[in-house]
Structure 1
Amino acid sequence: MSPLRITVPASSANIGPGFDSVGVAVSCFLILDVSEQDRWEIRHKSSHLPTFAEYTDHFIYQIARRTAEYHNKELPACKVLVTSEIPLARGFGSSASAALAGIELANQLCDLNLSDSQKLKYGTEIEGHPDNIAPALFGGLMVTAVSHDDQVEYISVPGPELDLIAYIPETELKTEEARRILPENYSRGQAARASSVGNLMIASLLQGDYQLAGRMIELDSFHEPYRAPYIPNYQIIRREASQLGAYGSAISGAGPTMVSFAPKGYGPRIAKHMTTLLPEYKVMPIKIDSKGLQVERVNLQNTIVAE
């Protein structure tokens, strides 16, 4: 096996009313550099990764083994160097990116020839919903997906480039904790209003009306009103970003990171102002990733060839 590199982007999910169904791929990456050797070895090259004792305890290995076993295959030994730019427990889909990396690792090591639909299905089964898996796999502005009857349907919403600004606090918020904050049930009226807002958000994106889309993002009633008290500076970020020209701001995933969507070219100016306003945050403009999951192989001339 020639050495290979697996690259998976981070993702920002929910995007206001797109609860558990809408996400966008962003330009922070999880990278696996894989080479053949006679025993398993996994090494971390980044601080944005959890500790582990043995390779068998590693989440990516466990997902790869599970995927291989599902196809009655055994993973061959290899060396995996893991690099990550994705902060943990901050709302950027780090677990979804790792799950997708594990699925693709098995796909490559065992020659499974998995289709994109299979990768999406396996990832959704692991994550429980497709809003992080789908954008990480396909890339794009807004990827809308739904899981039903053992299938996962998806579509990418096209559109011009936008600037994204991420506000990443030092505090963590585990997805499990953020889920417990939400109500178990919604009334028919609550559900109808929330889904109407989500429908209008998608329709306005398709029409290219980003001002309206931004307003709908900030009218979510599925999860943001319940999580907002646990998100530091939630109202300040929404208000200040709007005054600086952002279309709208939303909790990224389960939080505590927030993301603003702004016209192209506005990102650096908004980030500069917000860095001054929120010195305890890591504030940065980020790009939408249009490629999604990528696999590259090193040929005999030591050049990288994308698959």
Structure 2
Amino acid sequence: MGFKIIVPATSANLGPGFDSIGIAVSKYLTVEVGEAQSVWQVDHQLGDDVPNDDRNLIVKTALQIAPNIKPHYLKVISEIPLARGLGSSSSAIIAGLELANRLANLNLDNREKLQLATKIEGHPDNVAPAILGDLTISTYTPDQRVFSLKGHFPEVALMAFIPTTELLTSASRAVLPEKLAFKKSVEASSIGNTLVAALFAGDLEQAGYLMELDQFHERYRAKLVPHLAALRNLGHQAGAIATYLSGAGPTTMTVIDSNHRQRFVDLVANSDLNGELLQLKVERQGVTVC
């Protein structure tokens, strides 16, 4: 009997929470697992650049965790745009992890899933909310241990602006500095720490202000995502709580009260920005298997 794996999209960093803070959002990767067969077959509509055999990231991940599982037919349906900063690769990794978990009867708990997924992905900011749902604060320690805490992100609208152009994570990371001065590092960390406290306290006013004070990555990526400054300005005009670069970009996320949402939609529609504006919400539940 087949089964279905559903993984939410994710939005990471939230400004100063670089490689640490993430939220699960209401776009999904669905993998329908069919019968066993002689070779892996991945049926999808994601284009020619995404393999449909055992080179597919979902299958590669599953085989990395459980090399002896039998090939199956997989039907993949994804609402998550590729290379846009909404965790498309992390969702595939989590889907592969759950595929191995089920087919090999591994009975992994969430801590074990987080450890495996972070080792594959390299950092936990996207994989943690994909596994746990909602808001997660995570770290990957020098001795390669993962710690992640789940919180409750306040009830707000999330307006994702998705440009028509891709931005690969590798390109977005290439513009980051190798080092930060000690004083700047302390300042950046203190902002991130206080953002976490504000989020856990449900203080949106402080959280929103701090989300726009990142010192780690947004200023260095600004030339790759010129629409961030424009959307942040439009957000301020509409009374938004904050606008931040989602993951490595190019998607931006505007956190806004539902009462101000339409004003923001109108402002973006009347601008010269080229992209799609989507209303999302925080997904409280992580990956599910049914």
TM-score scaled by structure 1? 0.90
- After superposition, the C-alpha distances for 1:225-245 in whole angstroms (9 at most, x for unaligned) are 101121032211001112112
Deviates more, 1:100-109 or 1:143-152: 143-152
Matches within 5 A, 1:55-134: 55-69=53-67, 74-134=68-128
Contact 2:8 2:26 (C-alpha < 8 Å) held by counterparts: yes
2:186 maps to which residue?
192
What is the distance in 2 between the residues matched to 1:146 and 1:79?
35
2:242 aligns with one of 240, 244, 248: 248
What is the distance in 2 between the residues matched to 1:22 and 1:267?
24
1:180 maps to which residue?
174
- After superposition, the C-alpha distances for 1:205-253 in whole angstroms (9 at most, x for unaligned) are 1222211111101000100110112103221100111211211010000
What is the distance in 2 between the residues matched to 1:249 and 1:63?
33
Structure 1 vs Structure 2: percent identity of aligned residues? 39
Aligned residue for 1:20, secondary structure, equals coil
What is the distance in 2 between the residues matched to 1:218 and 1:163?
17
Note if 1:6 corresponds to 2:5: yes
1:51 maps to which residue?
50
What is the distance in 2 between the residues matched to 1:45 and 1:135?
24
2:98 maps to amino acid: E
Aligned residue for 1:241, secondary structure, equals helix
Matches within 5 A, 1:257-272: 257-272=251-266
TM-score scaled by structure 2? 0.95
2:14 maps to which residue?
15
1:301 maps to which residue?
none
What is the distance in 1 between the residues matched to 2:33 and 2:259?
37
Unmatched tracts of structure 1, length 5 or more? 297-307
Contact 1:9 1:136 (C-alpha < 8 Å) held by counterparts: yes
Aligned residue for 1:55, secondary structure, equals coil
What is the distance in 1 between the residues matched to 2:261 and 2:118?
32
Deviation at 1:48, TM superposition (A): 6.9
What is the distance in 1 between the residues matched to 2:53 and 2:193?
44
Matches within 5 A, 1:29-40: 29-40=28-39
What is the distance in 2 between the residues matched to 1:103 and 1:36?
18
Contact 1:46 1:85 (C-alpha < 8 Å) held by counterparts: no
Aligned residue for 1:229, secondary structure, equals coil
Contact 2:9 2:29 (C-alpha < 8 Å) held by counterparts: yes
Aligned residue for 2:213, secondary structure, equals coil
What is the distance in 1 between the residues matched to 2:36 and 2:136?
38
Aligned residue for 1:111, secondary structure, equals coil
Residues 139 and 239 (structure 1 numbering): CA distance in 2 closer, same or farther, change over 3 Å? Answer: same
Aligned residue for 2:17, secondary structure, equals coil
Contact 2:41 2:54 (C-alpha < 8 Å) held by counterparts: no
Aligned residue for 2:59, secondary structure, equals helix
Contact 1:167 1:257 (C-alpha < 8 Å) held by counterparts: yes
What is the distance in 1 between the residues matched to 2:38 and 2:265?
46
Unmatched tracts of structure 2, length 5 or more? none
Contact 1:144 1:154 (C-alpha < 8 Å) held by counterparts: yes
Matches within 5 A, 1:132-171: 132-140=126-134, 142-148=135-141, 149-171=143-165
Deviation at 1:271, TM superposition (A): 2.7
What is the distance in 2 between the residues matched to 1:49 and 1:11?
24
Count of residue pairs the alignment pairs up: 289
Contact 2:158 2:256 (C-alpha < 8 Å) held by counterparts: yes
1:302 maps to which residue?
none
Aligned residue for 2:158, secondary structure, equals strand
What is the distance in 2 between the residues matched to 1:278 and 1:76?
51
Deviation at 1:151, TM superposition (A): 1.7
2:287 maps to which residue?
293
In the TM superposition, structure 1's runs of 4+ consecutive aligned residues that sit over 4 Å from their partners are none
1:232 aligns with one of 218, 226, 230: 226
2:53 maps to amino acid: Y
